[in-house]
Amino acid sequence: MKQRTIARAVEGVGIGLHKGMPVHLRLEPLDAGSGIVFYREDEGVSISLHPDFVVDTQMATVIGKDGVNISTIEHFLSALYAYGIDNLRVVLNDGEMPIMDGSAASFCMLLDEAGIAEQPAGKEIIRIKKEVVVREGEKYVALKPSKRAYFDFAIRFDHPVIAEQRRNFIFSKKAFTEEIARARTFGFLKEVQYLRSRNLALGGSLENAIVLDDTKVLNPEGLRFEDEFVRHKILDAMGDMKLLGRPIFGAYESFAGSHDLNHRLTLALMANPEAYEVITLRVDESREFAKSFA
């Protein structure tokens, strides 16, 4: 299996979640070995995708360099993960990715429009060799050795609509587009009101998030999936794991994980060289793995 970029440049416009202002997004191909590079054209600053450049994980995953930040990148990164994109330039004219409809579906459509181009270099993956776990009370996130790549996530909320949900997602691009990509971010009305009092979430609406009051979903169309909440948590986790720069051959497991725990997990993995290895897939190894990205 070879490294991938997009076949042609594409662009789009969407609203930023926190500022509520239009954000112009352009995706451009990059050469093999370049990785994922974000570029703030309004600031003239490039930020490579790497756990060391994560500067905030409170409400979203935020990367930054030299005082210049780009927030809410996780939904977009989950689509890059699913499509197997290794090399890409992401050009923005503001400090946050557009929220689109609160899921990864619009980014998948943009990648479909761009097309996929295979490159001469072999594809590198991260093979998990030993378990790495990060805990915070009963919450935890973990990467474990596995013969299949999957994401197993469980959540528990004291809310009648969410309650307890768990999903085991065996990774493939097809399954992602059908089962995960359309799952929207969610929040509670009281939290939205608080954020807006701080001039945040100004672009948030029922068109780009699931909003709940104390007893019900406020979106008139309801949910896209009965367990949309845990599906979105998987979407977030895939985006956060994309910070490692390569797809993971292993298992991700979590109970009540967060962007912060996910970031700490990537750092813990990188700090333990015995827990993983970076390998370039041989032809005989890559045929089966390539089916996941078909």
- Tell me the C-alpha distance between 6 and 91, whole Å: 14
Least Cα distance to 133 among 244, 266, 237 occurs for 266
Quick: pLDDT tens for 33-61. Answer: 999 999 999 999 999 999 999 999 988 99
Residue 68, CA distances (Å) to 56, 65, 73, 76, 154 in order? 12, 5, 14, 19, 34
Is the pLDDT score of 112 beyond 80? yes
Phi, psi (deg, nearest 5) at residue 127: -95, 120
pLDDT per residue as tens digits for the range 184-195: 999 998 887 777
Percent of the chain having pLDDT more than 70?
97
DSSP assignment of 252-276 equals: EEEES--HHHHHHHHHHHHT-GGGE
Which residues, other chains included, contact 40 with Cβ-Cβ below 8 Å and sequence gap of 6+? 46, 47, 68, 70, 92, 93, 94, 95
- Model confidence, pTM: 0.96
List of domains in the chain: 2-121 (3.30.230.20), 125-293 (3.30.1700.10)
Catalytic (active-site) positions? 259
Segment 221-250 shows an average pLDDT of 97
CA dist 279 and 174 (Å) reads 24
Determine the pLDDT at residue 180.
Answer: 98
pLDDT in tens, 5-38: 999 999 999 999 878 889 999 999 999 999 999 9
3-state secondary structure of 76: helix
Instruction: Compute the mean pLDDT over every residue in the chain, rounded to the nearest whole number.
Output: 94
Matching residue, tokens 């042609």: 8
Q: Quick one: DSSP state of residue 36? A: E
